[in-house]
Structure 1
Amino acid sequence: MKMKDFNSSSDLIGQNAIKIISNVGFSVFVFSVLTFTVIAITYQPPDPWESSRTLTRVFTEVSNATFQMDNSVVKTGEDKTGGCDDTRLVNCSARGVLMAIKKFNVKRFKSIVFLEYQTPVNGSKPNECDVSWKFRNKKEKSWRKYRDFRRFRLGYGENCAYKVVGAKGWHSGVNAKRPRSQSQVNATQKGEMSKISTSFHDDQINDTIPVMGSGSAFRNGKHLYYSRGGDYCKNMNHYIWSLLCALGEAQYLNRTFVIDLSICLSSKHTSSNQDEDGKDFRFYFDFDHLKETASIVEEQEFLKDWKQFDKNHKKKIPVRKVKTYKVTPMQLKNDKSTIIWRQFDKPEPENYWYRVCENQAANYIKRPWQSLWKSKRLMNIVSEISGQMDWDYDAVHVIRGEKAQNKAMWPNLNEDTSPESLVSKLQGVIQPWRNLYVATNEPFYNYFDRLRTLYKVHLLDDYKELWGDKSEWYNETMVLTGGRAVGFDGYMRAEVDTEVLYRAKLRVETFYNLTKDCKDGIHTC
């Protein structure tokens, strides 16, 4: 009986437990349903079509089937960051640095063609970069390149791009200046050129004298040889006119011209007022360019090979000697001799080289003006002077000297080029405080002081360090002479003055601008 009652109690407890669990489960289910219902009622997801009008427009709009560029800007993670960090270091080797410098240069130097840039290097401060480049002035007709290296201060512009915020002047980027060549280093180590200061050689200058080669090459060649005539020690214009005649005849005859590199400089161009012998052709003219554009051989090399050939062979070199200019190039056209030797032994003016190209010969001989360029060394000085004025200058050509003293031929020149007249005439032409370069043969340096009250006056003598004993020009001309110093003579000054004048933005000439006198004297206009 008792056992039966115990079992009945146990059944009641189990049933109650099942009811409780069922009630709890049902309550959880009801609560979950209520929660989901509340969320479903209150949650409103964004309408991808924004409105019914948008939906209607999408399905009714007629679009062009042609492909169109998507010009929208796609932004990624880095675009979400904050502004530029102006304190970060400038990476000079970054491509953006060079692009910023190129953009700055093109905008600032409109008269320059920039040809080659080197990779920028660090300057003296964290935000500075030094860079070098090669360039050419637009007013120069040759293809020759020049070199500059400057220092730039950089910052950051829009979109964190590099921009130039400041630039220093000509040759300021010393860290971008190339090192000396190995040949110069070796020469210094051997004690050679001990009196010559450190120089940086222009790799576009090649003054080496070409070697003729073997004896058979000499025998099979065809040469035109001019002996010295009355042109020697004449003024440089006379020399050039005669030399180009000789080169023109050599081209006409299809022969190699034998050139004498020794020049006698006329007293007109010397400080001693006397003719000066022993000047080197390469001081004044571009020998490398002449070698490239004309068939030439240097005289001493030619005579040495000629002598050597005759010494080693029983049969001598065939030579035709021509004793007068009256034997025309046309008469020599079919001559088979190895050497045509023109001799100028008659008195002046019968012994001038240029007489060969006169009369009927002028119709056949074309002077190769394109072969004769000014010395690259002198042109480097021209670029240096122009560059120091940032290529932003005006110029006036003031001719005085002998012409100003010869009142019979130029009656007004002296007065028209006086300091007072210059101030009066230039005021209406050149803006105040411009860089004004004065190209002149006036020997008195202070003659132009009146102009300094109106302009930033520059004279050639302001740049004496460019040919001084520590200059690149001085060092390289010393190499040509075997260590003998070379003076910066009157013709060199005239060449540099003229070229700086031509590069000016505004040019004022003596004749036709400053004076009514004729350039070649009275009654010649």
Structure 2
Amino acid sequence: MRTAIEQFPDLHFYRFGRPVAVPDSPMECDLAWRFRPAADAIGTGRTTYYKDYRRFMLTRDVNTCTLVVSSVGEYHSGLGAKRNGKRKGKKGKKGKREAPVTDFVPAKTQVRLDENAANNEAAGAVAEPVFVVGEAVNDSLPVVASESDFSRGRYLIYMGGGERCKSMNHFIWGFLCALGEAQFLNRTLVMDLNVCLNARYTLSGKDEKKDFRLYFDFEHLKESASVIDQSQFWQDWGKWQKKDKLKNFYTEDIRMTPMKLRDVKDTLIMRKFGNVEPDNYWSRVCEGETEGVIKRPWHFLWKSRRLMEIVSAIASRMSWDFDSVHIVRGEKAQNTQLWPNLDRDTSPDSLLMTLNDKVGAGRYLYIATNEPDKSFFDPLKEKYKTRFLDDFKDLWDENSEWFTETKELSNGKPVEFDGYMRVAVDTEVFLRGKRHLETFNDLTRDCKDGVNTCPASS
């Protein structure tokens, strides 16, 4: 443990696991730990911990005859300390994530730990939601235990609407409105786990059906809110609707506010949205007088922990000690009428001048960019250890854990690491830099949305 703490000064350790012997190798052992980056100040509204497990090579000191650590393996090299299998728990029930029983810290060992988190746990209190990257994911579908449980339940479903195949941000805005209304009405949201990914994000250039769980942490969602998969719901509804005389309240009027629906006693409230945009957007339900009543539960919707595992791996390979820069080029750099300075300000020569007094020579510099030709930035290599997202493509190729797990999630069909996933991971890695520089705030005088659109300075 002391060796880990000394070797990784930029990590704030929270828990250590029990060391695990390596079979047929008495001078090696694997050790797992949970940690936070020491400089982690990202305002996510949650406590985020990461998990790593590494192989330690031991040797015996010739003078004292004691065991000492000679070297430590790379990120996730200590497979013997990996916790295998899905985390067990009651399906569809809320509750705390359990801690692995092997995690411990000897009381007499002086280590640098996350004291606030340790104190909260000792007191049995958690100040904010805990997001753990690296633990086994349990995103199985929640099921209703029995006929009586289903028939006593109350449900809300949104049908149709213009959110389908739009940008992911458009989908999220509408989905959180539905989730907020279900919470307000104290009903279970019947949700479709099939997300239509817009063509802008796919290799095929066509809209594609994707699993919600590829992008979002469904385990956290089902523990935080009451949700059920649409296909499972309709199976149960078909079995018990006539027998138990379950009733359905149907409306196509977005002016039917959640406040008016609060006294509806029917088992199912079905909102049907028409074909005329933008009146058929789910988000319209939360506009007007409803806006002050329904609060979108953003804290229920977290990024997929499988994607965040890739983020953690990339940051770990740079020892969580790097700076980052976001460089927008592409079509904007070519449009000199709206962005007259952008091309010049994001050229390698200009970047070297701008970064000179902001990023120290020899440091890792993570570059998040839409520039397709990464060799464009080669001049920066003379001063910095530059890294791009594609430098880590082994984390999602066919030999990766991500590939295996997502293939299992999609019934054996390989999953494309699509454009939206790339943007999500690129952004999250960028935010974890010790210093992060944005194009339109730090690199250029141009405005983000073109000439004369910069916000007035205070």
Bin of the TM-score, shorter chain as denominator length:
0.7 to 0.9
Correspondence for 2:351: 422
Correspondence for 2:169: 237
Q: Given the superposition, is the C-alpha separation of residues 411 and 356 from structure 1 closer, same or farther in structure 2, using an over 3 Å criterion? A: farther
- For residues 330 and 144 of structure 1, what CA distance do their matches in structure 2 show? 39
1:513 match: secondary structure: helix
Aligned ranges 1:338-353 → 2 under 5 Å: 338-353=267-282
Q: Unaligned regions of 5+ residues in structure 1, if any?
A: 1-97, 184-200
- For residues 47 and 298 of structure 2, what CA distance do their matches in structure 1 show? 12
Correspondence for 2:137: 205
Correspondence for 1:132: 32
Report if aligned partners of 1:121, 1:131 keep a CA contact under 8 Å in 2.
no
Aligned ranges 1:11-22 → 2 under 5 Å: none
- Paired letter, 2:10: K
- For residues 142 and 524 of structure 1, what CA distance do their matches in structure 2 show? 34
| 2:246 is the alignment partner of 1:306 | no
Report if aligned partners of 2:56, 2:69 keep a CA contact under 8 Å in 1.
no
Correspondence for 1:178: 82
Q: Give deviations 1:438-478, integer Å, cap 9, x for gaps.
A: 11122223222121122111111011111101110000111
- Paired letter, 1:171: H
Q: TM-score, length-normalised on structure 1?
A: 0.71
| 2:264 is the alignment partner of 1:335 | yes
Correspondence for 1:109: 9
- Paired letter, 1:101: T
Deviation at 1:154, TM superposition (A): 5.7
Q: Given the superposition, is the C-alpha separation of residues 520 and 334 from structure 1 closer, same or farther in structure 2, using an over 3 Å criterion? A: farther
Correspondence for 1:222: 154
User: CA RMSD of the aligned region, Å?
Assistant: 2.7
- For residues 228 and 298 of structure 1, what CA distance do their matches in structure 2 show? 16
Deviation at 1:115, TM superposition (A): 2.0
- For residues 155 and 436 of structure 1, what CA distance do their matches in structure 2 show? 38
| 2:196 is the alignment partner of 1:295 | no
Correspondence for 1:281: 212
Pick from 382, 389, 395: which aligns with 1:466?
395
Deviation at 1:168, TM superposition (A): 4.0
Pick from 514, 518, 521: which aligns with 2:443?
514
Report if aligned partners of 1:123, 1:173 keep a CA contact under 8 Å in 2.
no
Deviation at 1:125, TM superposition (A): 7.6
Report if aligned partners of 2:58, 2:71 keep a CA contact under 8 Å in 1.
yes
Q: Given the superposition, is the C-alpha separation of residues 282 and 514 from structure 1 closer, same or farther in structure 2, using an over 3 Å criterion? A: same
Report if aligned partners of 1:139, 1:502 keep a CA contact under 8 Å in 2.
no
Q: Given the superposition, is the C-alpha separation of residues 481 and 173 from structure 1 closer, same or farther in structure 2, using an over 3 Å criterion? A: closer
Q: Give deviations 1:315-360, integer Å, cap 9, x for gaps.
A: 6421111102111111111111111101111400000011111111
- For residues 224 and 302 of structure 2, what CA distance do their matches in structure 1 show? 11
Q: Given the superposition, is the C-alpha separation of residues 405 and 305 from structure 1 closer, same or farther in structure 2, using an over 3 Å criterion? A: farther
Deviation at 1:394, TM superposition (A): 1.1
Pick from 381, 384, 388: which aligns with 2:310?
381
Correspondence for 1:390: 319
2:316 match: secondary structure: helix
Correspondence for 1:56: none
Correspondence for 2:287: 358
2:443 match: secondary structure: coil
Larger Cα-atom Rg: 1
Report if aligned partners of 2:35, 2:50 keep a CA contact under 8 Å in 1.
yes
- Paired letter, 1:284: Y
Deviation at 1:400, TM superposition (A): 2.3
Deviation at 1:518, TM superposition (A): 2.2
How many residues align? The count is: 404
Larger strand percent:
2
Deviation at 1:104, TM superposition (A): 2.3
Larger helix percent:
1
- For residues 391 and 366 of structure 1, what CA distance do their matches in structure 2 show? 35
Report if aligned partners of 2:214, 2:304 keep a CA contact under 8 Å in 1.
yes
Q: Given the superposition, is the C-alpha separation of residues 349 and 157 from structure 1 closer, same or farther in structure 2, using an over 3 Å criterion? A: farther
- Paired letter, 1:288: E
- For residues 203 and 178 of structure 2, what CA distance do their matches in structure 1 show? 30
Q: TM-score, length-normalised on structure 2?
A: 0.81
Deviation at 1:226, TM superposition (A): 0.4
Pick from 146, 152, 158: which aligns with 2:51?
146
Deviation at 1:413, TM superposition (A): 2.2
1:488 match: secondary structure: coil
Q: Given the superposition, is the C-alpha separation of residues 110 and 154 from structure 1 closer, same or farther in structure 2, using an over 3 Å criterion? A: farther
Correspondence for 1:252: 184
Percent sequence identity is 44
1:226 match: secondary structure: strand
Report if aligned partners of 1:155, 1:165 keep a CA contact under 8 Å in 2.
no
